[in-house]
Amino acid sequence: MNLEVELFGVKFKNPVWTASGTFGFGIEYKDFVDLNKIGAVCVKGLSINPREGNEPPRIWETPCGMLNAIGLQNPGVEYFVEKILPQLSSYEFKVIANIYGSTVDEYIAVAKTLNSAEGVCAIELNISCPNVKKGGLAFGVDPVEAARLTEAVKKASDKPVIVKLSPNVTDIVEIAKAVESAGADALSAINTLMGMAIDIYKRKPKLKNRFGGLSGPAIKPIAVRMVYQVSKAVSIPVIGIGGISTWQDAVEFFLAGASAVQVGTANFFNPKAVEEIVNGIESYMEEMGYSSVKDMVGDLRE
Partner 1 sequence: MNFKVIENKKLSKKDFVLSVEVDEESLLKRIKPGQFAMIGVSPTQSFDPLLKRPLGIFNVEKNVVSFIYRVYGRGTKLLTNFKQGEEISVLLPLGNSIPEQFDKYLFIAGGVGIGGVFLAAKTFLQAGKDVHLLYGEKNRENLSALAFIEKYKIPLTVFTEDGSYGKKGFVTDGLTEFTDRVWVACGPIPMLKAVKELSERLGVKCFLSLDTRMACGVGACLGCVVKTVNGYKRCCVEGPIFDATEVLL
Q: Which residues are catalytic?
A: 129
Segment near ligand FMN (CB under 6 A), from 16-24, 142-150, 173-181, 251-259? 16-24
Q: Rounded CA gap, 43 and 91, in Å? A: 14
Write the binding mask 166 to 205 for partner 1: x where contact by CB under 8 A, - elsewhere. ----------------------------------------
- Nearest by Cα to 7 from 188, 211, 270: 188
- Nearest by Cα to 69 from 187, 175, 212: 212
Is there binding between residue 98 and ligand FMN (CB under 6 A)? Answer: yes
Write the binding mask 178 to 217 for ligand FMN: x where contact by CB under 6 A, - elsewhere. -------------xx----------------------xx-
Q: Rounded CA gap, 219 and 221, in Å? A: 6
Is there binding between residue 44 and partner 1 (CB under 8 A)? Answer: yes
Residue with Cβ nearer ligand FMN (14 or 22): 22
Segment near ligand FMN (CB under 6 A), from 7-15, 201-209, 236-244, 283-291? 236-244
Near partner 1 by CB under 8 A: residue from 73, 102, 103, 168 = 73
Q: How far is CA 161 from CA 55, 241, 275, in A?
A: 31, 17, 26
**Cis, peptide link before residue 108, omega less than 30° from 0:** no
Q: Rounded CA gap, 91 and 121, in Å? A: 14
Is there binding between residue 257 and ligand FMN (CB under 6 A)? Answer: no
Is there binding between residue 72 and ligand FMN (CB under 6 A)? Answer: yes
192 binds, among partner 1, ligand FMN, none (CB under 5 to 8 A by kind): ligand FMN
* 287 Cβ neighbours under 8 A, 6+ residues apart: none
Residue with Cβ nearer ligand FMN (169 or 290): 169
Q: Are residues 173 and 146 in contact, defined by beta-carbon separation less than 8 angstroms?
A: no
Q: Are residues 296 and 285 in contact, defined by beta-carbon separation less than 8 angstroms?
A: yes
Near partner 1 by CB under 8 A: residue from 57, 76, 280, 298 = 57
191 binds, among ligand FMN, partner 1, none (CB under 5 to 8 A by kind): ligand FMN
Segment near partner 1 (CB under 8 A), from 55-63, 101-109, 280-288, 291-299? 55-63
Which amino acid belongs to residue 56? P
Residue with Cβ nearer partner 1 (112 or 208): 208
Tell me the DSSP string of 30-69: TTTS-GGG-SEEEPSPB-SS-B--PPSP-EEEETTEEEE-
DSSP collapsed to 3 states, 118-139: CCEEEEEEECCCECHHHCCCEH
Tell me the DSSP string of 158-177: SS-EEEE--S-SS-HHHHHH
Which positions touch ligand FMN (CB under 6 A)?
A: 19-22, 44-45, 68, 70, 72, 98, 126, 164, 191-192, 215-216, 219, 241-244, 263-266
Which positions touch partner 1 (CB under 8 A)?
A: 21-24, 28-29, 31-32, 44, 52-53, 55-61, 63-66, 68, 70, 73, 216-217, 245, 265, 267-271
